[in-house]
Structure 1
Amino acid sequence: MSADPVAALLPHLRLLVALGEVEHVTIAAAMLGVPQPTVSRTVRRLEQQIGAPLLEPDGRGVRLTPAARTLVPYAQRALDVLTDGLAAVETEGQRARTTVRIAFQTSLGEQLVPELIRTVRADDPTVRFVLSQGARSSCLDSLLEREADIALVSRLDPPPDGVRVVPLFEQELVLLVPEGHPAALAGGAAVVDLASEPLVTLKTGYGLRGSVDELFAEAGVLPSIAFEGEDLHTLTGLVAAGLGVAVAPRTTATPAGCVQVPLADARASRDIGAAVLPAPSSEVVVRVLDALRSLTGPGQADAGVDPGP
């Protein structure tokens, strides 16, 4: 027997299966599209390598030996497994061509992302989305590490190193205060007046936290941070409980127990955009970016599409 009989058999699995089906060298050769002498030589070589005869005379023809009858079902099974594997690869390749991986800031997950998925799938139901949410920094890291195709985040002007930016919309920032707060009664506020206010904000690395830090730096005051959270729901709950105030994106529905107060500061807004890698995007990613532009373009807020809190 050959030192590696498996290696010897692998190139000839179809030949074994064909012989098992017809038990005729000439017909098997025709099925495989090879000359009959080639099949005969291959069979003799395989018999030497596996150390057992595969064919034996049967009148004017041949028949499979017991060893061959034992081996053929295994050869068929191996071919079937390989065929299934190739089909799986083809399916995965097709899935990859129609899959978009989106990393997005948590504040964009309630309205913009679901509306995006609904819009894209209305046009093409085969598009598959893989979603991850988190802080701005983690979303951009996922993009740069090629774990995401699109990062939906704030503060992309100027663009971070290594990414291409598709601008989407500007989002007004307001002061969120509990009902009855003096700023609510006054109908407005400025960041410079918030130095003594307990501030609830997101943790470092989140897009909103970066915007808040920039606002306070521009106003020349230090924030008095009382609590740090990881999502806007936590912030609004803390504000409603009277535990502080928050700088947050304006929403169409004011959170219960809170009042949205305009900020007089000229830079009380943040840009929201889609970051992608500089290399050309796939066709399906381009379609998703087009849908984002359509959803967030001028006039969409008036049409009932809120870009998200």
Structure 2
Amino acid sequence: MEIRQIKYFMEVARREHVTEAANALHVAQSAVSRQIAKLEEELGVALFIREGRVVRLTPIGKVFLEQMERAMNRFDDAQRIIEEYTDPERGTIHIGFPSSVAAYILPTALSRFRRDYPNVKFELKQGSYYEIINSVVKGEVNMAMVGPVPADHPKVAGTILFTEKIAALVPAGHHLADRTAVTLNDLRNDPFVMFPEGYVLRDMTEEACRQSGFRPNVSFEGKDMDAIKGLVSAGLGVSLVPEITLIDSLPRATVQVPIKEPDMGRTVGLIVPRDRELLPTEELFHGFAQAFFDRLERFQN
């Protein structure tokens, strides 16, 4: 089994088309077909169901792809370790994040880090909360900044950087907009703007409403924080959002109102895989982030 065969296999698996994969790899289509045939012969199993040049993974092909993605990620890590070993201040950090930390938290940390380590490069991967955790598990990234930090996850370990409040975001003309604080029960008859099902802030909101004795009426859904804010700004409902997402970016025609009951908040921090060591440059950022947010929290208090 050769690295070249694995790379050809993975490209075809992603594109489900031999010719498109060959074009992306800048090799002849016949070369791709030949190497995959040799790989299948060596393994003794069919990895693809062929329909002309269009292909689909067999069940065992899907298993093999998952394992090879992890193996190739480890191979890439090994190459990066060698490159970073002599100078971790010139390495590359792959970090994942969901939209709720994209507007203020992560950019603030990256900007400050780059002042101390200007030669470090970053490759960023954005996705939903659960997608990003899965990316760490699979080795697509070795680190992610998320909120909340998962507790007792079998495959990732978390470091809490700080804790923040969840606030109500309501249209400016809302009957509770002039309140100094509200209870979640005060909003029970309002339409809610939420993330789609499967997003962690949706789960947190629904659980808090359940504990307050009602099920929220979801009027609209948005897949990122800007969409949520825009829908509230348009007067289409109320929403619960982390306070830090409103720093320097409170939408027009909206009001932020603290929630006094229940006490709603979330942890924000870094997650890393339990079964892999961080690369030298990643270790550098991990330690920096802990110290940076610790100083920030002490200054704010």
1:273 to 269, 274, 283: 269
Gap change, CA 1:118 and 1:196, over 3 Å in 2: same
| TM-score relative to the length of structure 2 | 0.65
Higher alpha-carbon Rg = 1
Structure 2 Cα separation of the partners of residues 158 and 220 of structure 1: 26
Structure 2 Cα separation of the partners of residues 130 and 252 of structure 1: 25
Contact 1:178 1:245 in 2 (8 A): yes
Gap change, CA 1:126 and 1:234, over 3 Å in 2: same
Partner of 1:156: 149
Q: Does 1:252 align with 2:247?
A: yes
Note the alpha carbon deviations across 1:252-276, whole angstroms, 9 max, x for none: 3322111001112243111111110
Distance apart, 1:212 and its partner CA: 1.1
Partner of 1:190: 183
Structure 2 Cα separation of the partners of residues 269 and 103 of structure 1: 22
1:262 to 255, 258, 264: 258
Gap change, CA 1:168 and 1:209, over 3 Å in 2: same
Paired residues for 1:32-47 under 5 Å? none
Structure 2 Cα separation of the partners of residues 101 and 90 of structure 1: 14
Partner of 1:204: 197
Partner of 1:217: 210
Gap change, CA 1:213 and 1:91, over 3 Å in 2: closer
Partner of 2:92: 99
How many pairs does the alignment contain? 216
Structure 2 Cα separation of the partners of residues 114 and 140 of structure 1: 19
Contact 2:104 2:247 in 1 (8 A): no
Note the alpha carbon deviations across 1:107-152, whole angstroms, 9 max, x for none: 2112222222222222222322110112100100100000011121
Structure 2 Cα separation of the partners of residues 200 and 301 of structure 1: 34
Distance apart, 1:95 and its partner CA: 6.4
Q: Does 1:233 align with 2:226?
A: yes
| TM-score relative to the length of structure 1 | 0.64
Structure 1 Cα separation of the partners of residues 237 and 297 of structure 2: 33
The gaps in structure 1 that reach 5 residues or longer are 1-88, 304-309
Distance apart, 1:180 and its partner CA: 2.2
How many percent identity over aligned positions?
27
Contact 1:119 1:291 in 2 (8 A): no
Partner of 1:63: none
Gap change, CA 1:92 and 1:173, over 3 Å in 2: closer
Q: Does 1:117 align with 2:125?
A: no
1:280 alignment partner, SS class: coil
Contact 1:211 1:270 in 2 (8 A): no
The gaps in structure 2 that reach 5 residues or longer are 1-77
